[in-house]
Structure 1
Amino acid sequence: MRYARVALGLPIDEVFDYLIPEAYSNNCPVGCRVLVSFLKRNLIGYIVGISSRTKVSKVKPVIKLIDQIPVLNNKMLGLTKLVSDYYYSSWGQAIEAALPVGLRRGLAVSILETGLPAPFAPGDDAIIGNNDTSCEVIFLRGGSLKERVKVYDEQIDRVRKQKKSVIMLSPEVKRCLNILDLLKKNYPDRIEFTHRKENAKEDLRVWEKARNGSIDILVGTRSAVFAPFTNLGLIIVENEDAYGYKDERSPYYHAREVALMRAGLEKIPLILSSNTPSLESYYAVKRKKYTLVSIADKKIEEPKITIADMRQYGQRQKSKMLLSPVLEDKLHKATQSGKKVIIFINRKGYASFVYCQKCGYAAACDKCSSKLIFHFEEKKLVCNSCGLKKMLFNLCPRCNADYIRYKGYGIEKLISQLHLVFPQAKISRIDKEHPGLSPDFQILVATEMLFHLDYALSAEVVGAINLDNALNIINFRSSEKLYALIYRLKSLATEELIIQTAIPELFLAGEFINLELDKLYDAELKERSALRLPPFTHLITLKLRGKNLQRAQSSSTNLYEKLKTLDKRLEVFEPLEAIPLKLRGWFHFNILLKVKNPLSLTKLLKARLKEIRLPGVRLAMEVDP
């Protein structure tokens, strides 16, 4: 008898044995999809091994063999196993992260014999479990997208001459389409674009073309890193520091890290690029692990950075005016001389806090522990965490008084004040609800959506309202993200960037005023080294959630007690409430772990977590949060 070892896309770190029926005994290769029964449900699984023995007394048979030709070759099995080990997920979850929706649903796929890799053989087991991911990494820094694509073209030409394929990653769909247009000028044929949000059949069509060798270049978002090329020669990761590369579902992989894994396993070069590199990549360049290639900036006059100290305008702050006299004066001069102004404010709505002045009641979400934000345009209270909307109330729900007050600010309040101060100006707005832009604007008020447009935008003057909030986030990457944000804002300004702040000491430093990123990064590395934070170590977040607050809290405490003495290589911190504590009806607690190398503790930590029972509580792990 022969048994198929099947991985399922469930948060259960096991591979399950199923009997291979006589009808499939001669053709049931590793890497194929099968339909199997699991806990009274029929699920699609993936054969990751064949065995002649099993420890299970009653083995269920495979219900149906879906594929005649494997959808997962030995290289992809090796990559998904490594992803599973590094990110502490099940192998099945890693496989499903690598496959398009159509394959996960059991849709038929057409794989040509000419597109087949070498058949899986027993000796290929060495590929699965191989953690040697060293490879040649080139870090491309500087230049515009067009200039970087010219560099990519040279490398793509070299790879295509070797009759190999290229994966090109970008964090956003719009940016992918821009890259696709630029690449098609030199490569009009055998190039495709993919992203997981498109139609499942279209996604599967592109997957088939990549697997069958019908295309040479694939441009896509983070999931494209798993493209099934059998002759891959190069991976390019554009804007490697972008948050869009981080998957928000298990296995919580980061496409840049998976690209490093795949390039190492397949022994091919990898190109990373960014004008504001992640600190991990910057540190790797400093240690000569990556080869730095810089594109010289064109000699243009740099916009100056002006710091507006909001502490000098106490009376103005009492009047709730959001614009400093410095920025207001610049706005007057700019609008009178026909110049354009962009004002950046990364807050939604009109007021961030709604409360009763009499009894102290504060409007909060029913499903979350977040406060509701007042959106003037909708005339509704909205939860930023879960999207819940409530009708506006005139009387306090608790004491029935009419002392309702609105505190804080957002993009709508700023626009309201601008209309009062500049009644004749053409004021436009860009945020998630208003993605369009009038070309004849004089003043543009925008949230972070400003950086996700599919066209270039600039203005003579750019103002930033309260960037201090970026440092108030409980995240060790907050300074790194602030530097990148200021760089992007500065790139929009042709004459001047004005930063309003209540902590001018931070922004008035010479390296900040001149935006000398290398000096800022070096200072940040010193702090990270002293605190033993990435890139000098790795963080793992154990995420616990439960419907009952006391049970979730006690489970997190019990888990901490059982892990804190597990291994000397593992540093375990006491559980803390997540922010927000309650989200969509679930109470969340986090336990932070520090480890030098996540792979070194994979087996030990997975084994210990299997032994621990957490009734009524769900557990997830996120590596490199």
Structure 2
Amino acid sequence: MTNARIVRVALPVPLRRCFDYLVPAEQVTCLQPGMRVQVPFQSRKIIGMVVELTDVSSIPRKKLRNIYAVLDVQPVLPRDIFQLVLWAAEYYHHPLGEVLWAALPAILRRSKPALSVELPPYPIDDRELAPALNAAQQQAVSAILAVQHTFQVFLLDGVTGSGKTEVYMQVIEEVLQQQRQALILVPEISLTPQALQRFRQRFAVPIAAWHSGLSERERYAAWLAARDGTVRIVIGTRSAVFMPFAQLGVIVIDEEHDTSFKQQERFRYHARDLAIVRAKTQQIPVILGSATPSLETFYNAGRGRYQHLQLPQRAGVAQLPQFQLIDMRRMQVDQGLSVTLVTAMREHLQSGNQVMLFLNRRGYAPILMCSECQAMLECQRCTARMVYHQTTSRTWLHCHHCDAHQELPRICEHCQATAFKPIGLGTQRIEKALQKYFPDMPVTRIDRDSTRRKGSLQQLFDEIHAAGPRILLGTQMLAKGHHFPRVTLVGIIDADAGLFSADFRALERTGQLLLQVAGRAGRAEKHGVVYIQTQCPDHPLLQQLIHQGYSTFAAALLSERQAAGLPPFAHFALFRAEAHQQSDAEQFLQEVKNILPAEQVRLSGPVPALLSQRAGLQRMHLLVQAIQRLPVQHFLQQLLPQLEKLTTTQRVRWTLDVDPLEIF
């Protein structure tokens, strides 16, 4: 093969390099970046993707192996997506092959040709006419459409129920008239059915969903239809940011503050940030919508990097709910429910309305304690307590970190006592208490435990939208963008969980969650009220959030972050190491720390993670930080090639998280 050229191939393996192969001269002309090839790798055949054709290699030509086959006649990844993947792999310092594979439908990760697959017929719902916009909504639409052919980031900052979705729709309507497409990212699978229904009621065009709950064939069909231009609107979760489009005209990130947009395993990318990069590359607007913007987005809007559009009033006749703080220190409480809250619930239910209770803790109780010696049952594989679960048919213990399950012990291993008592509140415990106070009232509980079966979540939502009074009880699954028009009272069982956390983002998340939950009340004609149970009614940030609103609350948190040198006033990257022995994880991170002098960055650690053991592995952290983003990137670029040469990597499992949401 003297006339053979060299093809550089990215493989889906955890190695930060590409691999060189020989390709016959007769196949060179048909090869392009973004095409799949079958190649030998060690002793097996593997599918890779062409990155480039070249005539030089660091490996002698006689040692290069030949490719087996070219699988495509054209690139499966269009040029814009291929460039986005290259950028993401470089920025997040993740192996290119794994990033490319994350951008492909599962069907294309196997040696199958990229053949067409038909989408199922599109349902044709009764069309709704666009409602009249209020002045703030119209200003927002006009501002976005004024720059629809150029890149601009818009923060659509609207209170809950302010009509942000209607702004999205009217912008998208103009985009569709120009024969272009729209991508809408939502944080949770549970939000896609509601969004699909609303958009299908408005637009007589093909609309597709994209999320992990669909079959491989369904996802592949949607992917092809978006790439070919058949589908005009895609509504999907974070990985939809990699979907190819024939002519994309706008990207919307709904609930942009939601942490679900950050992938927390393997390739740790942030879909919101990648959507902004993609919009800049394609010179289209991107809309970040939220009633409680992330502090990073709020900061960028304040600096003028994003255009800040505000919707201060609820749409139509709906009014913002009133807040009532319940001081639990001076209140008679039974099973987590105060007399004040129970009385208010009874009044609203008797009026034929719905009531929603929020507790972001599933299970029956977070602690099961020995009644004699007070010992708490802990997971044997994690530094965490087992959560007590109870249903009408069984009881069990469950670790919410490693997913271990076990039956209740018959005796305490410390004192041999036989009695245990649950401590604290979970949604199952509140559900049982509600059956006592409201024995004839239907209760719909929505959390991860009650929605495990396929289709169960939609079934529960159907119950909620049925006629008659009802109590809704759930975790943050209930707080994320759902529209419950007959909910007039929201009760927050415990507002204190995030007020005293070691996580520097805890207050931000607490404020966002409280306002998002509160926003489910009074979204239609009836006025809403929110009762907040707390042991700290005088907490300054809680008072600020309720009486002065999210903007003042966010500004105060930004001042604290700036004084402490925390994001967005600094940039982080986090090395995590796990090993069976803590000394191995610590030694590895110490060796990483010693590779290069930290001249423009600061290195903190190694230190044990807040959850120092998970699933039997000891966990340690090393934090890289700098005021500017560029020094962190340069440091990692120089560090990683040398890190992979360390012999201690064989005894640990390590990951790198750029822009981590959690550093403990």
**TM beyond 0.5:** yes
1:311 aligns with 329
CA distance in 2, matches of 1:385, 1:32: 39
2:358 aligns with 344
1:544 is aligned to 2:577:
yes
1:301–1:395 Cα change, 3 Å: same
The alpha carbon displacement at 1:176 in A equals 2.7
Root-mean-square deviation (Å): 2.8
Within a 5 Å distance, the mapping from 1:467-486 to structure 2 comes to: 467-486=495-514
CA distance in 1, matches of 2:351, 2:247: 58
CA distance in 2, matches of 1:374, 1:215: 46
- Deviation track 1:341-398 (CA, whole Å, cap 9, x = no partner) reads 3222222222222233555653222332321111121311111112221112222245
Letter in 1 for 2:57: T
Letter in 2 for 1:592: L
Task: Classify the secondary structure of the residue corresponding to 1:201.
Answer: helix
1:14 is aligned to 2:1:
no
1:511 aligns with 544
Q: Work out which of the residue numbers 66, 75, 78 in structure 1 matches 2:71.
A: 66
Within a 5 Å distance, the mapping from 1:570-609 to structure 2 comes to: 570-595=601-626, 596-597=628-629, 598-609=632-643
CA distance in 1, matches of 2:352, 2:35: 64
1:420–1:227 Cα change, 3 Å: closer
1:54 aligns with 57
- Deviation track 1:28-75 (CA, whole Å, cap 9, x = no partner) reads 222111112223232211110111121213112112211121112332
Deviates more, 1:440-449 or 1:66-75: 440-449
Task: Classify the secondary structure of the residue corresponding to 2:309.
Answer: strand
- Deviation track 1:525-562 (CA, whole Å, cap 9, x = no partner) reads 10111112111222211111123333223323333344
Q: Is the 8 A contact 1:349 1:411 kept in 2?
A: yes
1:467–1:143 Cα change, 3 Å: closer
CA distance in 2, matches of 1:70, 1:497: 54
Q: Work out which of the residue numbers 55, 80, 89 in structure 2 matches 1:84.
A: 89
1:365 aligns with 379
Query: Would you say how many aligned residue pairs link Structure 1 and Structure 2?
Result: 598
The alpha carbon displacement at 1:453 in A equals 8.2
CA distance in 2, matches of 1:270, 1:453: 19
Q: Is the 8 A contact 1:168 1:218 kept in 2?
A: yes
- Percent of pairs with identical residues: 29
The alpha carbon displacement at 1:296 in A equals 4.8
Q: Is the 8 A contact 1:426 1:442 kept in 2?
A: yes
Task: Classify the secondary structure of the residue corresponding to 1:492.
Answer: coil
1:327 aligns with 341
2:370 aligns with 356
CA distance in 2, matches of 1:25, 1:508: 64
Letter in 1 for 2:552: K
Letter in 1 for 2:19: F
Letter in 2 for 1:103: L
1:85–1:567 Cα change, 3 Å: farther
Q: Work out which of the residue numbers 582, 599, 603 in structure 2 matches 1:567.
A: 599
Within a 5 Å distance, the mapping from 1:181-220 to structure 2 comes to: 181-220=197-236
CA distance in 2, matches of 1:327, 1:455: 22
Letter in 1 for 2:261: Y
CA distance in 1, matches of 2:294, 2:45: 43
Q: Is the 8 A contact 1:69 1:111 kept in 2?
A: no
CA distance in 2, matches of 1:453, 1:393: 41
Q: Work out which of the residue numbers 602, 608, 619 in structure 1 matches 2:654.
A: 619
1:174–1:447 Cα change, 3 Å: closer
CA distance in 2, matches of 1:417, 1:59: 70
Task: Classify the secondary structure of the residue corresponding to 1:370.
Answer: coil
Deviates more, 1:602-611 or 1:44-53: 602-611
CA distance in 2, matches of 1:478, 1:326: 28
1:503–1:454 Cα change, 3 Å: closer
The alpha carbon displacement at 1:507 in A equals 5.7
1:104 aligns with 109
Task: Classify the secondary structure of the residue corresponding to 1:401.
Answer: coil
The alpha carbon displacement at 1:501 in A equals 1.3
Specify every segment of 5 or more residues in structure 1 that has no aligned partner in the other structure, as ranges: 113-133
CA distance in 2, matches of 1:379, 1:555: 41
Deviates more, 1:69-78 or 1:337-346: 337-346
Letter in 1 for 2:164: R
1:491–1:620 Cα change, 3 Å: same
Q: Work out which of the residue numbers 506, 513, 522 in structure 1 matches 2:555.
A: 522
1:496 is aligned to 2:514:
no
1:323–1:373 Cα change, 3 Å: same
Within a 5 Å distance, the mapping from 1:87-486 to structure 2 comes to: 87-110=92-115, 135-142=151-158, 147-298=163-314, 300-313=318-331, 321-334=335-348, 340-358=354-372, 361-377=375-391, 378-423=394-439, 425-434=441-450, 435=457, 436=460, 437=463, 439=466, 440-451=468-479, 456-486=484-514
Specify every segment of 5 or more residues in structure 2 that has no aligned partner in the other structure, as ranges: 118-149, 451-456, 522-526
Q: Work out which of the residue numbers 40, 43, 49 in structure 2 matches 1:37.
A: 40
The alpha carbon displacement at 1:470 in A equals 2.1
Letter in 2 for 1:616: R
Q: Is the 8 A contact 2:353 2:469 kept in 1?
A: no
1:453–1:271 Cα change, 3 Å: closer
The alpha carbon displacement at 1:186 in A equals 4.5
Letter in 1 for 2:641: A
Task: Classify the secondary structure of the residue corresponding to 2:538.
Answer: helix
Task: Classify the secondary structure of the residue corresponding to 2:592.
Answer: helix
Letter in 1 for 2:72: D
CA distance in 1, matches of 2:165, 2:440: 42
1:460–1:266 Cα change, 3 Å: closer
The alpha carbon displacement at 1:420 in A equals 4.0
CA distance in 2, matches of 1:543, 1:26: 44
TM-score (norm 1): 0.88
1:170–1:337 Cα change, 3 Å: closer
Deviates more, 1:164-173 or 1:496-505: 164-173
Task: Classify the secondary structure of the residue corresponding to 1:283.
Answer: helix
Q: Work out which of the residue numbers 538, 554, 560 in structure 1 matches 2:587.
A: 554
Q: Is the 8 A contact 1:149 1:182 kept in 2?
A: no
Q: Is the 8 A contact 2:537 2:543 kept in 1?
A: no
1:144–1:182 Cα change, 3 Å: farther
Task: Classify the secondary structure of the residue corresponding to 1:369.
Answer: coil
CA distance in 2, matches of 1:422, 1:196: 37
CA distance in 1, matches of 2:67, 2:539: 63
TM-score (norm 2): 0.83
CA distance in 2, matches of 1:249, 1:384: 16
The alpha carbon displacement at 1:167 in A equals 1.8
CA distance in 1, matches of 2:290, 2:481: 18
Letter in 1 for 2:87: L
The alpha carbon displacement at 1:172 in A equals 2.4
The alpha carbon displacement at 1:279 in A equals 1.1
CA distance in 1, matches of 2:319, 2:212: 41
